[in-house]
Amino acid sequence: MKKALLLVNLGTPDKPSYLSVFKYLRQFLMDGRVININPFLRFILVNFIICPTRSFSSTKIYKKVWNKETGSPLLHNTKKLTQKIQSKLPEYTVEYAMRYQNPSIENVLNKLLIQNPDEIIILPLFPHYAAATTGSVYEEVSRILSKKWVVPKIKFINQFYDNDKFIDAWVEKARKFNINSYDKIIFSYHGIPNSHVDNVYENSVCNDHDCEKEITEDNKFCYKATTYETTKLIASRLNINPENYLVTYQSRLTNKWLSPFTDEVLQSMAKEGKKNVLVFSPSFTADCLETIIEIGDEYNELFISSGGQKLDYVESLNYSDLWSDAIISIIK
């Protein structure tokens, strides 16, 4: 039986230039699952307000992290991960794609379909289901396949936030640090609008459920609930007491996103006398702008300027051996 595995990450500009960044941001933000408002208003907002202004600042940031030989860190890490998994799964055809920009899902799917596989496994590299990430990948894959005459068996994997080997991979990364030497441990996840988690529920909203406490039948696809569960699993393995860590959310566009906000929490901690913090970001399986720049540079500077002394960041899983082993366990 011929099997193929398609790893999908969010995306990155082709180059650290204004036009490439504009093109990337436009495709990303025009996705109705990312900004779920009236299509006409979204068009005006994205094309005439957000992209023209944000592309300037984002281009400067991309230039900071861009490697002349390997390009974007997200693209490089995803490519290396794919190569490692292929070496461990010679019986599979393993490819990677980006939801936005290149290599596109459509081009890579077409490449796989030419090989006539019996099954294609679609694995978005997002541990926690969210409509704007995993849901968007599924929508795009379905759109492409709906135009095909022959469609092989398709296996979608929608989340893996509690996979044992995924947790092992994060624990391994954390072993490089003396956990007990920090005043507080922060688990910082990518934020999403409150409306996105509220939409998970038919006749209620997220705040009506104990998402911070446990996973239930009702909240098992709630991003907030699954991020808290990942946190508890990592903390338990590292013997971190609940009073010594916090769950926060970063990268917000408005204040109507999941809170508490990472930047505000770090600032408050520093002013309260906390000197040393360690930050995990388990929603990012590959280092990217949000980890290298937002946490590593911006939050570090904010924490120190507010009175803190040291902010350390646990690097993402990238293409570690345990992470590639985790993916193999997830798909089988």
Tell me: the pLDDT tens digits for 145-181? 999 999 999 999 999 999 999 999 999 999 999 999 9
**Per residue in 291-311, pLDDT tens?**
999 999 999 999 999 999 999
Closest by CA to 142, choosing from 132, 124, 156, 128, is 156
Closest by CA to 98, choosing from 84, 77, 117, 127, is 77
Mean pLDDT of the chain: 97
Joined tokens for residue 89: 């799964």
Length of the chain: 332
* Burial class, 322, CB count within 10 angstroms (exposed 0-12 / middle 13-18 / buried 19+): middle
Q: Which amino acid is at 231?
A: T
Sign of CA dihedral 302, 194, 209, 162: negative
Question: How large a percentage of the chain has pLDDT more than 70?
Answer: 100
Residue 67 per-residue DSSP state: B
CB 169 within 8 A of CB 326: yes
Q: How far is CA 312 from the centre of its chain?
A: 20
**Per residue in 247-298, pLDDT tens?**
999 999 999 999 999 999 999 999 999 999 999 999 999 999 999 999 999 9
Alpha carbons 328 and 332: distance in angstroms, whole number:
6
Alpha carbons 115 and 227: distance in angstroms, whole number:
37
| Tokens 């039986």 found at | 1
CA atoms within 13 A on the CB side of 300: 15
Q: How far is CA 306 from the centre of its chain?
A: 28
Domains identified in the chain and CATH numbers: 3-159 (3.40.50.1400), 164-313 (3.40.50.1400)
Alpha carbons 155 and 177: distance in angstroms, whole number:
37
Closest by CA to 57, choosing from 309, 223, 289, is 289
CA atoms within 13 A on the CB side of 277: 32
Using CA atoms, how far residue 326 sits from 7, 130, 193, in Å, is: 13, 20, 29
Return the pLDDT at 123. Answer: 98
**Per residue in 184-198, pLDDT tens?**
999 999 999 999 999
Strand order in the sheet with 184-190: 245-250, 184-190, 276-280, 310-313
Alpha carbons 281 and 277: distance in angstroms, whole number:
13
CA atoms within 13 A on the CB side of 198: 10
Return the pLDDT at 194. Answer: 97
Q: Which amino acid is at 142?
A: S
* Burial class, 204, CB count within 10 angstroms (exposed 0-12 / middle 13-18 / buried 19+): exposed
**Per residue in 67-124, pLDDT tens?**
999 999 999 999 999 999 999 999 999 999 999 999 999 999 999 999 999 999 999 9
**Per residue in 26-45, pLDDT tens?**
999 999 999 999 999 999 99
| Tokens 């939409």 found at | 199
Return the pLDDT at 182. Answer: 98
pLDDT level of residue 20 (50, 70, 90 thresholds): very high
